[in-house]
Amino acid sequence: MQRARAICGYSTARVREYSLSEVARIFQLSPARLRYWQRTALIPTSAADGQPVFGFRDLVCIRTVKTLLESGVPIRRIRRSVKNLRERIPELERPLGSLRVWLDGSDRVVVRHGDAWMEPDGQLVLDLALAPPEADDVRPLRREPAPNGGSDPASALDWFELGCQLDADPRRQDEAMQAYRRAIECDASFSDAHCNLGALHQGRGERDAARACYERALAADPAHVEARFNLAGLLEEAGRDEAALVHYRAAARADPTFADAQLNLALLYERIGLPRRAREHWRRYLGLRPDGTWAELARRRLEE
């Protein structure tokens, strides 16, 4: 079996990188939610050709955020914990990936540092599963009061994250819509909340309401990929092919790794009788997603 040789201590093997769309599928997160975490620097990311890419250690951090949120830890506390850890333990390379929930059913967040567990604000905690520590081991560090007396007041971000969690359960989509509306009340320019609210309207067949949401999302952020893509789908359904092409192309420009935009462009160009333009997008789609039913169709089209 051949292996890549190392030169001067560095392996020549290519490290696997994942696009935002791939990561969204891996963790069953909406791309809009993941993109918001990335844009607001909650999760680490690198860039390739100007587009976000994620390595294995980035995936660990994303899994940590998802696990903490599912355990009931508010998003504001996660952000505050990461900030505190960067200030108090600067040698901790990726503080987000080090966070853990203290006990099942608890929203207490801790991090392992050396031989001790501590809270991100510096409070040492006692691990009862270990041998009894020396007295000095449990002496608390100086604890700073949390903002607003330790409470996590509802904000646009809190409501948005709640909406995302509710959104995953078809039985709770009314509640999800209300959460997104509350996020928008807190911040009218919250493009991700507008987009996700639009997607729920679209899923119910409420196309006019969905379109209005996507247009508001794009007014706040003209490069919003999911809003462009979803609006293009609505326009295509309405028979407005030229307008749909404008938005599909804009989505593909904003994120060239967005395979579904390439797929829909290929299909739409074929339908309106422009097979040469379609081939360009079949080729791009195949480069992004080489497996599956659509990939087989892409190969057949390119062989014709």
Which string of DSSP letters, residue by residue, matches 254-294?
H-TT-HHHHHHHHHHHHHTT-HHHHHHHHHHHHHH--SSHH
Mean pLDDT throughout 205-217?
96
- Asked if pLDDT for residue 296 goes beyond 80, the answer is yes
- Asked if pLDDT for residue 53 goes beyond 50, the answer is yes
pLDDT score at 112: 55
Q: Which two tokens stand for residue 82?
A: 């990461």
Residue 16 binned pLDDT confidence (cut-offs 50, 70, 90): low
Q: What is the mean pLDDT of the chain?
A: 76
CA dist 15 and 59 (Å) reads 13
State how far Cα 75 lies from the chain centre.
13
- Asked if pLDDT for residue 217 goes beyond 60, the answer is yes
156-234 architecture in CATH?
Answer: Alpha Horseshoe (1.25)
What pairing do the DSSP bridges indicate for beta strands 10-11 and 124-125? unpaired
- Asked if pLDDT for residue 276 goes beyond 60, the answer is yes
14-129 architecture in CATH?
Answer: Orthogonal Bundle (1.10)
Higher pLDDT: 283 or 78? It is 283
**pLDDT, tens digit, for every residue of 76-117?**
777 777 777 666 666 556 666 555 554 444 445 555 555 545
**pLDDT, tens digit, for every residue of 55-84?**
877 888 888 788 778 777 777 777 777 777
Say if residues 279 and 301 touch (Cβ distance below 8 Å). Answer: yes
Higher pLDDT: 207 or 141? It is 207
Mean pLDDT throughout 219-232?
94
Q: 21-25, 107-111, 236-240, 281-285: which range is least confident on average?
A: 107-111
Among all chains, which residue has been given the structure tokens 């292996």?
3
pLDDT score at 6: 27
Q: Which two tokens stand for residue 278?
A: 């379609």
Instruction: Choose among 285, 259, 281: nearest CA to 268.
Output: 281
pLDDT score at 255: 87
**Same fold? 14-129, 156-234:** no
pLDDT score at 115: 53
Higher pLDDT: 152 or 244? It is 244
pLDDT score at 10: 31
Instruction: Choose among 182, 192, 147, 143: nearest CA to 35.
Output: 192
10 phi and psi angles, rounded to 5 deg: -115, 130
- Per-domain boundaries in the chain: 14-129, 156-234
pLDDT score at 22: 81
pLDDT score at 89: 62
pLDDT score at 97: 57
Mean pLDDT throughout 251-267?
92
DSSP class of residue 125 equals E
